[in-house]
Structure 1
Amino acid sequence: MLGAIIGDIVGSRFKWNNNRSKEFDFLTYKCSVTDNSIISLAIAKALLDSKLDYSNLSENAVKHMQGIGKHYPNCGYGDLFRDWIHSDNPTAYGSYGNGVAMRVSACGFVANSLEEAKLLSKLVTVVTHNHPEGLKGAEATAVAIFLARSGKNLLEIRDYITKNYYPLNFTLDEIRDSYEYNESCQDTVPQALEAFFESKNFEDAIRNAISIGGNSDTLAAITGGIAEAYYGIPTEIRKHAVTFLDERLLMILVEFENKYPSKMEKVNADGSVGIGRSRETKVKTGDRNAMIQSSVETADKELKDSIPTNEETTSQQLFNHLFEACNILRGPINQDEYKSYVTPILYFKRISDVYDEETQDALERSGGDEEYASFPENHSFDIPEGCHWQNVREASENVGVAIVRAMNGIERANPDTLSGVFSSFDDANWTDKTKLSDERLKNLIEHMSKIKVGNTNYSADVMGDSYEFLIKKFADLSKKNAGEFYTPRSIVKLLIMLMNPQIGETVYDPACGTGGMLIEAIRYMKGDKLTYGRIYGQEKNLSTSAIARMNLFLHGAKDFKVTQGDTLRSPNYHEGGKLKTFDCVVANPPFSLKSWGAEQFSSDIYGRNMWGSPSDSNADYAWLQHMVKSMNQKTGRCAVVLPQGVLSRGGKEGEIRKQLVESDKLECVITLVGGVFYSTGVSACILLLNNEKKNDHKGRICMIDASDIYTAQRAQNIMTDDDISKVFKFYNDYKDVTEKVKVVTIPDVREKGYTLAINNYIEKKKQEIVPPAEARRQYFEAFDEMLEAEETMRNLLIEGGYVNE
């Protein structure tokens, strides 16, 4: 019910000023209630006042649409409906206008069956819109709401609609540029339904509806009612929306939802979850302020009660709060840029909160000695005067300048640990008031001030996991460059499991991105103190390297080295003129990198071209050789993700692959399903190398085909923990499994021209050969069954009068 009202309110400012994009401020002071909401609530009131058998529903619909409608003469009624409201003898006027579809959402929420949804829709429709198209549009909307409420999935609802109402043979992208303002049901309801069918959550559904232009408020009202029934309404949107209703309208909504409980939507990293309100939960009635306060308190309580008190959910809570900061920036800031603002502001808040904790601890230890509490040795970081979070919070104007001054001051005061962590985000322009007004920045600062993010507020795991959710969300929003920014966590876990770092060993990632590999390695080694000073990473992108450092700090890592620079052109870690070597080398470098410095690599001073120099159009084998050269000669292991092309391409790569095989360092090759990595459809593989293979692994390579070990999801294939456990078991067992694993020898690979393409080695199940006589018998048997079925169908059609004999 409220979903339709929200759609109307959000769409109100776009009705005569279409926005053909999903990027806009959702609920603003420019929004208002229109006829869609007013008449929808009038129908809700009619349902509340009707008899159990609804015998007086049509009468009540007329009564309340006229009675309530007259109080809002300038809310956008069409001419015919306005005349109907003021008529002493209101009768149906043959309309098929879309207004009838926007007002029936309450019918879908009240109905106890599909047939009842259709009946209620008809009873409130025929009093004005008795044209078949009007009846159909209203019924389709009420039916979709009932089906969504009843637990049907998107495909089931879509299937029912297309079979019984409208052929949805278009997508929003196909119609967005050409769709125009239209007041008919037949050219509004299908588009509103498609906006729901292409959605990912409640808010996304509303944004879909508005993005195609047209009659925006009515479109979004129809979509919003269905989306609420399916997803529920997010708490923050609900709390904001009720403030747009006056006392009369809010009273009807409260009474309706107290009788027909609503649903809350919780959006998390994996999607959204709808949680129904208990029938015992009631919003208090009274004056407008009392109802708004009760509505807000009830919504907050529902959200709080829905969250179990465990660390995983606490991480989710924190993530939700952090991602809400993105919503504050939405509009003037492109979603690709969210990470450049939210990441440094979170870290600034974190540093200030930790500093406050350390100050309080020092005060308690010293009996309140403030001078002692300010000593640098009592703090992880130094915060100069005027650079604390509270100083920025107190700024009344030029808030962006205050933010930049504080961040720069903290960087300069901590050159060894925090150099560049804020200034690396050079695409964040805090002081541009045309993009970020003081008011918006103050809203952001106040939003972040609502939570403490110090060490005593969240454990390192909770803080780190919530930040990991945030990084993944940034990758979801910006798929263009996401592959270089974020490696799916399950793949990271598999790589570390394969490499098996031991406590006290060194770990190095030459293309560390946001630091996920290094964090997983630390977690694998249980964060032991012996990991301190043994974690190394290098990342070319300046802001991403800053995120990696923040990510490691937020996960509780200590004494690590993450530096910025181009690893292939200028590796940062060396000893005595040679590359520094490590026990474990792990990476997911950028696939098939072009213009990477092949000429310089061909005469590399570190000898990283020991097997050859790849062409400048593809750096895959340059990364591999850099990693091999970085492996400790005795204990070194390497796990790297590369595109599957490295397994079979010829030319220079073929020669390098030959040297790789003959070196007997290659221990395992794993091919993965396509689509598990962001921003690329290229199928990937994992190569596992070892300078000290087990005796029974020497001279052998384990080939694992994991291309069908995955879990399909709507937007992207993923590998779950169960999936990676299966792959890891294949590696651990190191033995042949038909159609899955083949352990080959170096002579086997040599014989096949050094290709590592797994299909050349994996044994397939023998296909059963059906003798020609049996195949012929099966064919004619099926043919006879077909003829018999056709005859049966023809007789049924004749019997039903559909065809002539």
Structure 2
Amino acid sequence: MSNNEIVQKLWNLCDVLRDDGINYSDYVTELVLLLFIKMEHENAQSGVMSGHKLPEGARWPDIARLSGINLLNHYRSTLLELSKSTDPLLAAIYADAQTRLKEPRHLEQLIKSIDGIDWFSAQRDGLGDLYEGLLEKNATETKSGAGQYFTPRPLIDSIVTLIQPQPGETVQDPAAGTAGFLIAADAYIKARTDNLYDLKEKQRRFQRNHAFLGMELVPGTRRLALMNCLLHGMEGDDAGVVHLGNTLGSAGSSLPKSDIILSNPPFGTAKGGGGPTRDDLTHSTSNKQLAFLQHIVRHLKDGGRAAVVLPDNVLFEAGVGADIRRALMDKCKLHTLLRLPTGIFYAQGVKTNVLFLQKISENATASTRNVWVYDLRANMPRFGKRTPFTRAHFADFEAAYGSDPLGQSPRTDMGEAGRFRCFSRDWIRERADSLDIAWLKDDSAEDAADLPEPAVLAQEAMGELEGALAELQAILKELGEVAA
């Protein structure tokens, strides 16, 4: 049984829980709480993990042998016990964990179904990959919400391949979600060091415990991230690889500077809680992506490299947006911009890009001389369930980017008919420092049959309106007026 088949079988169990009123997102959390106990047992049995992380009474056989109300009561008390664990990582994973199951027979059926899976095949293919398959399934099936913390794996793998993380480097994701970027960076290094066995013991300890660090605002999402990291053999410090906190608040300012930052910050403008409250960022803004972009530049080491996924409005927003882009191009060498296809994010309809940059220094000026732009958006298919987005779609871009992670490989401007072009810093300055650069005629956009769903169109319109509103507010500010 392949991992995809196991994922589908586990996903089908959601039908079992509908009588208890549990939806897709609740189901993933419910399933994950059980799956971690099961996977911990399988790992301990096979020697993947040294000994048990879970205490006696809270292990899989202790749960699987029970039935009826005794099972449900024991499971509830187990979750409570794990939430109070002296092991800080277990306590973080099971913090405030409660089952929403009310019928013992539903829990019993869920346990039996999990027990009936071919775990030998799952271990062979990697329990972490199986877990990520469930996260991806949740992102594709959930109409809203899930996509905000799940970045498509083909995009992550392409970015990590180009950035080329090395042993001994620190990798940070200030908007970690389910830790996809950190796990992919770890996998990239392990694949090139014989699963770290080519390294000395001190280096191996650094990779397991100190190389990777993320921050996540939402406790439930952080729970998914911690489990994801553990199942991929990433332990982190006492608080785990992914810390709980608001990167745009005081917690973010205490994050260390890193060699590499990879991130897909949440989209949108702060409304109520979760907005930027830091006083160490130069430019004040309610736009979360612009605030995250400042954090990334500030928390990169000199010479460090980053890749960040951002929506179009960050590229053209006037006022403070232009100020932040100017500061970015002064302090960093912004060498490559990738315009991503539409429809690759599960819960977001906005158009997105990837900025590849190298930090020169906090006090540097004129660090960016040229920006290479690759248009992977124009005349591309409308990606979705019927047309899946795969790693192969990045092949031409990766070839054009070259083998140097700092974007210093020889490159060829393909001209107005090609996808890869070079634009000088002077040319960009003449366009009010806008990085919203497009030159190809997008014939696919004229085909009405290929129009995206109305909800996606509405999301795109909202993103463009937010950008236009920000420009109007900047004009009013310049005129000395106060925006309503």
Q: TM-score range by the shorter chain?
A: 0.7 to 0.9
- Give the gaps of 5 or more residues in structure 2: 197-203, 362-366, 403-409, 443-484
**Residues 332-381 of structure 1 deviation map (CA, whole Å, 9 limit, x = unaligned):** 322232111111111111123334456xx9xxxxxxxxxxxxxxx96241
Measure the CA separation in 1 of the matches of 2:188 and 2:349: 30
Give the corresponding residue for 2:110: 444
1:224 is aligned to none
Residue in structure 2 matched with residue 373 of structure 1 by the alignment: none
Tell me, in whole angstroms, the C-alpha distance in 2 between the residues paired with 1:315 and 1:597.
36
Would you say the 8 A contact 2:68–2:108 is kept in 1? no
Match of 1:657 among 325, 328, 343: 325
Deviation at 1:457, TM superposition (A): 6.2
Which residue of 1 is the match for residue 221 of structure 2?
544
Quick check: 1:700–1:745 contact (8 Å CA) kept in 2?
A: yes
Equivalent residue, structure 1, for 2:431: 752
If asked which structure has higher relative contact order (CA below 8 Å, sep 6+), I would say: 2
The yes-or-no answer on 1:707 pairing with 2:373 is no
* 1:492 and 1:516 in contact (8 A); partners too: yes
Inter-partner Cα distance in structure 2 for 1:378 and 1:588: 34
Question: Kindly, what percent of the aligned residue pairs are identical?
Answer: 27
User: Cα gap change, 1:324/1:719 in structure 2, threshold over 3 Å: closer, same or farther?
Assistant: closer
The residue that corresponds to 1:72 in the other structure is none
1:553 to 230, 233, 258: 230
Does residue 394 of the first structure (1) align with residue 65 of the second (2)? yes
- Displacement of 1:464: 1.9
Larger Rg: 1
2:169/2:259 contact within 8 Å kept: yes
Alpha-carbon separation, structure 2, partners of 1:479 and 1:341: 19
Q: Match of 2:155, SS?
A: helix
Q: What secondary structure, in the 3-state scheme, does the structure 2 residue paired with 1:666 have?
A: strand
Deviations 1:778-797 (A, max 9, x none): xxxxxxxxxxxxxxxxxxxx
Partner of 1:467: 131
- 1:422 equivalent to 2:106? Answer no
Seen in structure 2, the aligned counterparts of structure 1 residues 741 and 764 have a Cα distance that, compared at 3 Å, is farther
SS across alignment from 2:258: coil
1:727 equivalent among 389, 397, 400: 397
Q: Is the 8 A contact 2:214 2:243 kept in 1?
A: yes
**Aligned counterparts of 1:754 and 1:322: Cα–Cα separation in 2:** 49
Could you say which residue in structure 1 is the equivalent of 2:212? 535
Whole-Å separation in 2 of the counterparts to 1:354 and 1:699 = 51
Pair 1:415–1:514, CA change in 2 (3 A): same
- Give CA-to-partner distance per residue, 1:113-153, whole Å, 9 cap, x none: xxxxxxxxxxxxxxxxxxxxxxxxxxxxxxxxxxxxxxxxx
The Cα shift of 1:591 comes to 0.8
Alignment-mate amino acid for residue 421 of structure 2:
K
- Tell me how far 1:703 sits from its aligned partner: 1.3
Distance 1:704 1:731 in 2: 9
Paired amino acid for 2:164: N
| Aligned-partner residue type, residue 401 of structure 1 | N
Find the counterpart in structure 2 of residue 592 from structure 1: 268
Residue 424 of structure 1 contacts residue 546 of structure 1 at CA under 8 Å; is this kept in 2? no
Which residue number in structure 2 is paired with residue 567 of structure 1?
Answer: 247
Give unpaired runs (5+ residues) of structure 1.
Answer: 1-312, 362-376, 766-805
Equivalent position amino acid for 1:354 in 2: N
Task: Kindly provide the amino acid, as one letter, of the partner of residue 163 in structure 2.
Answer: M
1:416 to 1:347, Cα distance in 2 relative to 1, 3 A = same
1:379 aligned residue: 51
Shift of 1:466: 1.8
Q: Which amino acid aligns with 1:751?
A: E
Q: 2:179 aligns to what? A: 515
- Cα distance in 2 between the residues matched to 1:599 and 1:335: 30
**TM-score (norm: length of structure 2):** 0.77
1:394 Cα offset (Å) = 2.7
d(CA) in 2 for partners of 1:557 and 1:564? Answer: 17
**Residue 290 of structure 2 contacts residue 314 of structure 2 at CA under 8 Å; is this kept in 1?**
yes
Q: Which residue pairs with 1:343 in the alignment?
A: 32
Provide closer, same or farther for how the CA distance between residues 460 and 643 of structure 1 changes in structure 2, counting only shifts above 3 A.
farther
- Between the aligned partners of 1:757 and 1:656, the Cα distance in structure 2 is 14
Aligned pair in 2 of structure 1 residues 597, 444: CA closer, same or farther (>3 Å)?
Answer: closer
Q: Deviations over 1:180-230 (max 9, x none)?
A: xxxxxxxxxxxxxxxxxxxxxxxxxxxxxxxxxxxxxxxxxxxxxxxxxxx
Distance 1:598 1:388 in 2: 40
CA contact (8 A) 1:483 1:678 kept: yes
Q: Distance in 1 between matches of 2:232 and 2:307?
A: 23
* Contact residue 355 and residue 380 of structure 1 kept, 8 A: yes
Q: Distance in 2 between matches of 1:613 and 1:350?
A: 45
Q: Which one of the candidate residues 318, 325, 336 is aligned to 2:6?
A: 318
Partners of 1:400 and 1:438 within 8 A in 2: yes
- The aligned residue for residue 407 of structure 1 is 79
**Are the counterparts in 2 of residues 383 and 409 from structure 1 also a CA contact under 8 Å?**
no
Distance 1:521 1:710, change over 3 A: farther
Query: After TM superposition, what 4+ stretches of structure 1 lie above 6 angstroms from structure 2?
Result: none
Residues 137-536 of structure 1 mapped to structure 2, 5 A cutoff: 314-332=2-20, 333-357=22-46, 379-384=51-56, 386-398=57-69, 399-425=71-97, 428-430=99-101, 433=102, 437-451=103-117, 453=119, 458-459=122-123, 461-526=125-190, 527-528=195-196, 529=204, 531-532=207-208, 533-536=210-213
2 CA distance for matches of 1:563 and 1:679? 24
Whole-Å Cα distance in 2 between the matches of residues 651 and 709 of structure 1? 32
Q: Any idea what the Cα deviations from partners look like across 1:374-428, whole Å, max 9, x if unmatched?
A: xxx96241413x22222222333323221122233344345222113133555x4
For residue 668 of structure 1, the aligned residue among 336, 339, 343 is 336
CA distance in 1, matches of 2:92, 2:384: 38
Q: SS of the counterpart of 1:719?
A: coil
Q: Give the aligned residue type for 1:440.
A: H
Deviation at 1:724, TM superposition (A): 1.2
Q: 1:524 to 1:460 in 2, by over 3 A?
A: farther
- Structure 1 length normalisation: TM-score? 0.48
The one-character-per-residue Cα deviations of 1:97-125 (angstroms, maximum 9, x if unpaired) are xxxxxxxxxxxxxxxxxxxxxxxxxxxxx
Q: Name the SS for the 1:379 alignment partner.
A: coil
State the match for 2:467 in structure 1: none
- 1:420, 1:540 → 2: CA distance? 13
Does residue 678 in structure 1 map to residue 355 in structure 2?
Answer: no
Q: CA, structure 1 residues 314+501, in 2 after alignment: closer, same or farther (shift >3 Å)?
A: same
Over the residues paired in the alignment, what is the CA RMSD in angstroms? 2.8
Q: C-alpha separation between the residues in 1 aligned to 2:52 and 2:118?
A: 17
Separation in 1, partners of 2:242, 2:421: 38
Contact persistence 1:503–1:531 (CA under 8 A): yes
